[in-house]
Amino acid sequence: MAAQQKLTRRGFLRATSFSIAGLALAACAAPAAVPGGQPEASDAAAPASEKITIRFHARIGQQEDTLYDMQMPKFMEEYPHIELVKESFPGAEFSTKISTMHAGGTLGDVIWSALGQSKIQFNYAQGQLAPINDLVAAQNVDLTEWYQGCLDAITVEGNLLGLPFKAHPGLAIIYYNQTALEEAGLTAPDASWTIENQIEIAKATTKEEDGRIVQFGYLPSTSWKAFVTLYRAFGTELINEDGTVCQLNSETGMQAINHLYDLFHTHQVAPTPEQMVGAANDMWISGILGMYQGGTSVSVTGGAIGDKFEWMVAPNAIGPGGVGGSDFEVDAYCVTTSTQHPNEAFEWVKYLCNRDSGIQLGLIGGTVGGRPDVYGAPELLEFPFRVVFKEVMDNAMDSRILDNWRQEEAENAFAQLMQPLWAGEEEPTQAFIDSVTEQIQDIMDKPKP
């Protein structure tokens, strides 16, 4: 494994002014017809003398709000006949707010949505989103400017439901404490490392004092999204291609589960729920983890880490499947079925999803726009960790979600049902995993919302 360039406090602060507080705010029966109908792309834009108000509904987040404050004045200067009005809601309340406004006839013109937890599919099923296929065609929008995997992820039944605003390759990044690795005499991981290498590093960076572990070698995620990447590393999939069958208890899947279980209970390099000290990000920032699995947004913790230690990132370790595992994750901006001004609404969608906005997201700190020309922007690649992000994103694997769009329900049940494994209350027997699989399958067999 080749040595990686280290990221110092000075280098990181050049990359972002984002605070760790912002990370908490920052960060998948179909309708018989297109919900609400598609807006007429041929509608002529209003004369410049007529002021058109475009209301857009955003999820509150420090990174995003900073971007809106930057881009809204520039947009309105470029389009003086359009006045933008931002209406932001906390992420936990967002879907309820949107549904309430839609039911009451007060939904605005543009809304944030996401592949995560099938939010964009839910918005579509509720008749809140208008496909933009005709708008794209009428305005000759070059869709190759965005990652194809991102566009595919937000296309439902042939309908493109928005443009990628932010995107990342899933839980495909390993953050490592460069200082801890150097103290242990270890070489930094790179794109060629394997899960065997990862176990060795985790063991070497786990420290014990007076019978108590004071530094854990590795904190992996045990979420649904982490299992998507883990199963791919082992050469299989958590769900089938159609999104109709849970494959948790497959033979290869059992190997992946045992690998993860061993990190907690055999090798004892990962903290059990009882051994967690605060949130996962808190443990990483405090320096008591040798490695930490996360998405690109975890990079904002560098500001809070400061001079405590030097850190860098690597792709997920390669498993028996020959890959580390990844999947496209996408936030989008979308035109609503309620808008009376689809062309003007789409202009703002395009602006939020253009190259400049995507780069600014990175300079603010955190996940960037879902475009190759953003991930490859020279001003972002000055920072070593973003070079790795680009390599992983350029090779990200396609997203998979439940065919019935009950992703959030399945993910929540999965976390609860699998928790006894990580707590040491259950072992990964075939009978236990079969039981979890059956309960997840029951959710997958329900009708669409």
Beta-strand ranges (E) seen in 30-158 are 52-59, 82-89, 110-114, 155-156
CB atoms within 10 A of CB 21: 12
Three-state DSSP state, 385: helix
Confidence of residue 32 (pLDDT cuts 50, 70, 90): very low
- Is the pLDDT assigned to residue 445 strictly greater than 90? yes
Beta strands 311-315; 173-177: pairing state: antiparallel
The average confidence (pLDDT) of the chain is 91
pTM of the model: 0.89
pLDDT value at position 47? 53
pLDDT tens per residue, range 249-288: 999 999 999 999 999 999 999 999 999 999 999 999 999 9
- Is the pLDDT assigned to residue 4 strictly greater than 50? no
- Do 217 and 303 touch, CB atoms closer than 8 A? no
Question: Can you tell me the mean pLDDT for 9-27?
Answer: 40
pLDDT value at position 143? 98
pLDDT tens per residue, range 45-68: 545 568 999 999 999 999 999 999
pLDDT value at position 49? 65
- Is the pLDDT assigned to residue 94 strictly greater than 60? yes
384, 203, 366, 202: which is closest to 291 by C-alpha? 202
pLDDT value at position 21? 39
Confidence of residue 348 (pLDDT cuts 50, 70, 90): very high
pLDDT tens per residue, range 286-328: 999 999 999 999 999 999 999 999 999 999 999 999 999 999 9
pLDDT value at position 23? 40
Angle CA(200)–CA(299)–CA(382) in degrees, nearest 5? 100
User: H helices within 275-338, ranges in order?
Assistant: 280-286, 302-305
pLDDT tens per residue, range 145-164: 999 999 999 999 999 999 99
Confidence of residue 34 (pLDDT cuts 50, 70, 90): very low
Question: Can you tell me the mean pLDDT for 183-189?
Answer: 97
* Unique residue bearing structure tokens 């290498």: 197
* DSSP character at residue 116: G
pLDDT value at position 50? 83
pLDDT value at position 394? 98
Angle CA(281)–CA(199)–CA(229) in degrees, nearest 5? 60
- Do 293 and 220 touch, CB atoms closer than 8 A? yes
Give the percent of the chain with pLDDT over 70: 89
Confidence of residue 449 (pLDDT cuts 50, 70, 90): confident
Distance, C-alpha 271 to centroid of its chain? 23
pLDDT tens per residue, range 192-231: 999 999 999 999 999 999 999 999 999 999 999 999 999 9
CB atoms within 10 A of CB 309: 18
* Unique residue bearing structure tokens 């990359």: 15
Give the percent of the chain with pLDDT over 90: 88
Cα 339 to Cα 15, 346, 441, distances in angstroms: 37, 10, 38
pLDDT value at position 128? 98
* Unique residue bearing structure tokens 């605060």: 278
- Is the pLDDT assigned to residue 36 strictly greater than 90? no
pLDDT value at position 41? 43
Domains of the chain are 25-169+328-394 (3.40.190.10), 171-326+402-449 (3.40.190.10)
DSSP state string for 264-285: HHTS--S--GGG--S-HHHHHH
